[in-house]
Amino acid sequence: MPAVSEPPSPAVPVAISASPFSLSNSALPEPLKALIAARVGADSALQSPQLEAELADGTAGPSIQALKLQLIEIIALGNTWKTKVVGRKITPEEDARACFVQAWAMGRVGEYDGTTPEELPGKLENSLSLYAEAGRLLNLPPPPQ
């Protein structure tokens, strides 16, 4: 008979946006797994040599366009994933993971979507508020001011 694992205590760090395919994420609801997988894919795209070459050339080529669409998709998934969870309650840790992933995408999308310098602080504020919400859901102390 397999051992039943205990939920992590608030003092244990959470791999908040770890791969949805890892063993610790096997019980996550499918819409959250999709959100996390989209983030892992976008993070990989950020590391691609094609993107680095386009950035070095200063061209908005296909890698930049694809990354922009991935980030926009993550933000959209972050807004709707809870509505797709059926038959179970969403835990604060799951909600925090989603907030973290969406905040990450909001913080990055302005680099690739044509956001003007005047608009960037507003996007970053939205991102920071989601990071703060993730921390609140995990009962973490607020960051220093």
**pLDDT in the model for residue 69:** 95
What is the distance between the alpha carbons of residues 54 and 58, in angstroms, rounded to a whole number? 6
Q: What is the DSSP string of 83-136?
A: GG--SSPPPHHHHHHHHHHHHHHHHHHTTTS---TTTHHHHHHHHHHHHHHHHH
Confidence (pLDDT) at 5? 39
CB of 75 closer than 8 Å to CB of 109: yes
Q: Which two tokens stand for residue 47?
A: 């590391």
pLDDT for the residue numbered 6? 41
With a cut of 50, which residues of the chain have pLDDT below it?
1-14, 21-23
- pTM (predicted TM-score): 0.80
Give tens-digit pLDDT for 75-96: 999 999 999 999 999 999 999 9
The CA distances from residue 69 to 6, 73, 114, in Å, are 38, 6, 12
Question: Is there a contact between 65 and 55 (Cβ–Cβ < 8 Å)?
Answer: no
